Structure 1
């Protein structure tokens, strides 16, 4: 048997081989990479050609094969950028973040500030910024305004950066290769960029493919779709209610109920409406009482409405103190319904205010799941009236919430963030000042509910309370939880909460303290260094 005659080896085409392998030799119209003589090979042997090509290319790479350099036209030079770059101080700050890995968590916020100031990243740092952005979705989200024309030019030259700034090729034609053959992170970045450029076109591309994607991909793409919901997504989301992955089904239901006029909302409401009624006092006066009827049976029709038979998402505890027990299946089903339906639907149906409804829920034997699942619904539907009612409940009924185990099942910080900063400040400032002065339990955690930066009055009170704690920190040796709580608060939360004008006050106060426990010394040093660096970042934006 004669051996095949080899020809001169062309440059191996790994991307082409990958595309053919992923799409299938019958579905793909591309030829198998010709790394050996295929002149006598039958077109029916494409599977064999593919395997031989894969083995040959792998062997060539292991042997260190380097393809011949082919002369290519020099790239067209980048056009001049009319946006001025940062000055020397800003360049130094970026170098510290990108090259020295100092305060990388501040980079996305700083890039937003650079764009707002009408500046851009200096050309010399663009390669480092693009390399960093390739592994940071937070940076990608704020990259385009500060990269400038030179950044887009560089991204077009490097295949690893193509998806960072555009979904189109250098010729202006839509480049689908990252979407069709890329890894999940690459496809996610490409899709996010495509949605930002043309949401309707991105939905037209995503929706037909979504039901056939693997569960992990479906979860990732639904997270992006959540920011670009449109009525035309309803049929596909209805299909995903029957997906194999439980998390996919949950995501699909949570998105469907946000669509105006969605059929799922009406199906859920038909199940839920008879379960809650209110009983009023004599002559309709006084407090209302909430009467709850638990759903008793479950069949597969519930699953198509987004209600699981078993759902560990609502594995809450009801009761008080040590008598708390896990919720039963019927209570969990009720929680499912409440978490999906718009909370405002209940106030309209029952004829009560959000404050009265939550107060009645707190007094009910079914405070769990009522309150935690209405909190989820408030976040899902971005209902600011209910968010304010929850905040009012948190401020005035915390002992009762804690007693009933409802407090720990609610994301109070997320609910608070639904409210405008001015509203939060107005509602929370005075209670926070009082708690800080008294150093009540979890006072440092409570401060996280306030918008930042804090007003000067609150910063002063916090510094006084911290000074009192740190000056006597030797006594904290016996209380490891206090040590941990204060250390974490100083190192993670204090710096972003301090207004730039109050940074000198913080530094003066902390440096004037007598010797503190060694546990805090490193945290205080890092806090002061962070505040100084923030001051440099702010100054760099004013530099000309």
Structure 2
């Protein structure tokens, strides 16, 4: 097909189709070699064939040229072996089956980890998928191979996914005049190439950017913090956008030796003290003094007059009430300061400090805001102390409305896998055996895949629940929570090697309540498919 023909093919084909093959005097576009010799008797067939051919060309990534272009050089050879036939089939299913699509990013990570790549036949399909999925795009590069990068470079829609950014002036123009989305992508790419130079460029631009752009760029800067960011972040503490001020303060306190930490400590230090019993015996209690009235000088220290981020409820039961402004300011300071400052200053351990906070009338905001600080400063000791509190004092936490404002899953992620297993496995096993309330929620805190001991206990508990599921008719919340747990969380948590145990146990059950039938079916299908995924990674590569 010539360039001139390819440029006019779609409009010409549309005109012929709309007017009708008998009324239109135009020839059918010469997409196929036989189209040039089409007779009036087979024009309808030629229109359909041309439409199908053009649609297939577009799906394969063909771009209609705007000028005569040179044929691209062939793709260079790829040193990585592709997935085998089973891996190819699994990958294809991951991209089209809604039940399994969420497994795709993790599977691609595993493909990269074993030194394999996506088969050539699926590259175009995967590039189209990655264009619509941020999660897939983030893990695409290691598995696309040289042919994937070559193919992406030929299509403007895919180029940003894999092709390395240009280093010439037009590329810099994308940063200066592009959309916010384009500028974010450019910035992330440049940070990976030269973090110091990119950070210097960003720091010059940040103070004059609109608030939305400042928020977006600060999210990226969070991964590339450096002491030289302090002056600009200090300037942003006075920005017009409240969210920008919050982000700037949260980044500043992570910088070693930041002046903001010392200013905050000077304000917060007098507000908390510990009391001990006579001769140091008895429980440690906290003496809390609320901060004074807010004025504009607080803003320079990252403390807002009104900050709904810490507008929690305190009290017990139905008598819980919103925190007042002074308590919110206290929470704001606690959330920014490193939690280890308090244990050092007060001479207590993390467990003692959190236990004292739980017994205080100011349990909210103390515990939720120290949890935020633990995450901000990546303090594994405090994360472990929080989880111990969660395991042993949950009723008290719930009664005080303190548990709902804490991201327990994020705190768990701060701990090494072995520590999580050691800390959580035995208490959670006990809760599963007793089928205590919300026992399925506890399981989400454990690292996966689960050990067989836990899998066996969970299956036994599920069997008991599902066998008696008819008695749960009136408990709609239980029905929903258990069904959701089975369909969304159980299969990903299980070790694929335990698939026979799971199938034997669940398939031996009598017919369960209709609410669970689909969930159990999907869970078993997912587990079987994960067995195939694991096998595909060990499959011998074929040339």
Indicate whether the TM-score tops 0.5: yes
Distance 1:395 1:408, change over 3 A: same
- The answer to whether residue 194 in structure 2 is matched with residue 193 in structure 1 is no
* 1:297-340 residue CA offsets vs partner (Å, 9 max, x unmatched): 10111112111111111111111112211100000000000000
Give the match's secondary structure for 1:176. helix
Aligned to 1:70: 67
Q: Mapping of 1:80-479 within 5 angstroms?
A: 80-101=77-98, 103-169=100-166, 175-479=171-475
Q: Is the 8 A contact 1:237 1:256 kept in 2?
A: yes
Shift, 1:520, TM fit? 0.7
Do the aligned partners of residues 188 and 133 (structure 1) sit closer, same or farther apart at CA in structure 2, a change above 3 Å counting? Answer: farther
For residues 138-174 of structure 1, the C-alpha deviation after alignment (integer angstroms, 9 at most, x for no partner) is 22221111111111112222222222224423x8888
- Among 481, 485, 491, the residue aligned to 2:481: 485
- C-alpha distance 400-67 of structure 1, shift in aligned 2 (>3 A): closer
SS of residue matched to 2:117:
coil
* TM-superposed deviation, 1:210: 2.1
Structure 2 CA distance for aligned equivalents of residues 122 and 386 of structure 1: 46
Q: Distance in 1 between matches of 2:448 and 2:86?
A: 25
Distance in 1 (CA, whole Å) between partners of 2:182 and 2:92 is 26
Q: Deviations for 1:433-488, whole angstroms, at most 9, x for unmatched residues?
A: 11011111110011111111111011101000111111111111100000001011
**Greater RCO structure (CA 8 Å; 6+ sep):** 2
Superimposed CA distance per residue, residues 170-224 of structure 1 (whole angstroms, 9 cap, x where no aligned partner): x888833443344333332332222222222321232222223332222222222
Separation in structure 1 between the aligned mates of residue 99 and residue 89 of structure 2, nearest angstrom? 11
With the length of structure 1 as denominator, give the TM-score of the two structures: 0.85
| TM-superposed deviation, 1:431 | 0.7
- Asked if the contact 1:164/1:190 (under 8 Å) is kept, the reply is no
**2:238 aligned counterpart, secondary structure:** coil
User: 1:163·1:186 contact (CA, 8 Å) conserved in 2?
Assistant: no
Distance 2:456 2:125 in 1: 40
SS in structure 1 of the partner of residue 301 of structure 2: coil
Residues 398, 378 of structure 1: alpha-carbon distance in 2 compared, 3 angstrom cutoff:
same
The whole-number CA distance in structure 1 between the counterparts of 2:429 and 2:365 is 32
Q: Is the 8 A contact 1:166 1:194 kept in 2?
A: no
Stretches of structure 2 lacking an aligned partner (at least 5 in a row)? 1-6, 8-62
Q: CA RMSD in A?
A: 1.9
For 2:505 and 2:168, how far apart are their aligned partners in 1? 57
Distance in 2 of aligned mates of 1:89 and 1:191: 38
Distance 1:166 1:195 in 2: 15
The alignment covers a number of residue pairs equal to 479
The residue number in structure 1 matching 2:497 is 501
What's the CA shift for 1:279? Answer: 1.6
**Alpha carbons of structure 1 residues 278 and 127: separation in structure 2 relative to 1, 3 Å:** same
| SS of equivalent to 1:278 | strand
Cα gap change, 1:68/1:198 in structure 2, threshold over 3 Å: closer, same or farther? closer
Task: Say if 1:290 and 1:361, in contact at 8 Å, map to a contact too.
Answer: yes
For residues 215 and 79 of structure 2, the distance between their equivalents in structure 1, rounded to whole angstroms, comes to 40
Would the alpha carbon gap of residues 177 and 532 (structure 1) be closer, same or farther in structure 2, given more than 3 Å must change?
Answer: farther
Counterpart in the other structure of 2:21: none
- The 2-side partners of 1:308 and 1:181 are apart by 33
Instruction: Check the 8 A contact 2:350/2:381 in 1, yes or no.
Output: yes
What SS does the corresponding residue of 1:120 show, helix, strand or coil?
coil
User: Partner residue of 1:515?
Assistant: 511
Distance 2:424 2:191 in 1: 37
Answer whether contact 2:165 2:189 (CA < 8 A) is retained.
no
Deviations 1:58-114 (A, max 9, x none): xxxxxxxx9984212222222101111111111111111224555221111111100
C-alpha distance in 1 between matches for 2:340 and 2:405: 21
Normalising by structure 2, what TM-score? 0.85
Change (3 A) 1:198 1:135: farther
User: Structure 2 CA distance, aligned partners of 1:367 and 1:444?
Assistant: 26
